[in-house]
Amino acid sequence: MDKILNHKLPLFLALIMGLSLSVVGCNEQAGKTKEKGEVLATVNGETITEGELSDYRKARPDLARVQNQEALLDELVTQTVVYQEALRQKLDKDPEVLNELEMLRTSVLASAAVRKAMNDDPVTDEALRAEYDNLKERMVTTEFKASHILVKEEELANKLIKQLDKGADFAKLAKEHSTDTSAQNGGDLGWFNPQQMVPPFSQALVQLQKGTYTKQPVKTQFGWHIIKLEDSRRSEPPAFEEIKGRLEQMLKQRKIREYIQALKDKADISIKGKDEAPAAKKPAESTDKENGAPAEEKSAGPAEDEAEASKEKKSDTANTQ
């Protein structure tokens, strides 16, 4: 389920969504409109009102760290003192500073445009329900109940398999020979998702039929396993209310991507290098093409799912030894 719902945003979209409006405070104070309200502080003759403090509070992305109004006001006083010093040094005339302010202005306006678009077209409960129904079956997984015997030597594992073939009791052999902590329970691992196990273990497990065990020992970093499948079942998908917040975030991210892509599609964009005509091919290159010489291809990287699965392990199996 996490892989289905965990959609990472491109860096620009993440910046757009999380951009702090506190940068507005970096703009020239002369351009601010002071709202009416009680004057809470004065810094070198410049007042800080209740309205300004309220604006500053709304602009803070990490407000949870500020426990009370006094601490927040102290922050605003500090910012004002440093801001006045910047003006005294005429940093507001510095070309580099002006360039930074212009870039911040661009970012703030871009953030405002995205925010307005999302407010104009919010995610509805109907859309959330539809998305849930679409993903529900994909969030259903198969869980397995299995037992195993873990030993250090392949030779011993093969001997135990021969004893099982002759009718020996699996749980009894596990108690007598397994080095895993599950030995005291006859090797019982309980119910689990196969992705919680290391790949060799889970790959062997899913090939088994109920009541059968591996006829060849399975090698992992923990040793040699004999695995028995006790039972399997389909897990229920999480309830709608349980993942509603995550679904809403996912749909918002999708809407932002679509909104920005639509703007780009309508825009007249020219990027140096991408829009230039390709250079004329050399004769030798043409000959290679005509002779059917295959282009060199890059090999694909390792599968992400396997890497993810290898990180998650069943507590008993993963922590053995």
Give 99-106's long-range contacts (Cβ < 8 A, gap of 24+).
101/26, 101/27, 104/23, 104/26, 104/27, 105/27
| Residue 312, CA distances (Å) to 129, 139, 198, 217 in order | 30, 18, 7, 22
Q: Do residues 36 and 49 lie in contact, with contact meaning Cβ atoms separated by under 8 Å?
A: yes
* Residues present in the chain in total: 321
pLDDT of residue 59: 78
To the question of pTM greater than 0.75 for the whole model, the response is: no
Residue 156 pLDDT > 90 = yes
DSSP label of 268: -
User: Tens digit of pLDDT for each residue in 46-67?
Assistant: 999 999 988 888 877 666 555 6
Q: Mean pLDDT in the chain? A: 80
Domains of the chain: 16-109 (no CATH), 141-237+312-318 (3.10.50.40)
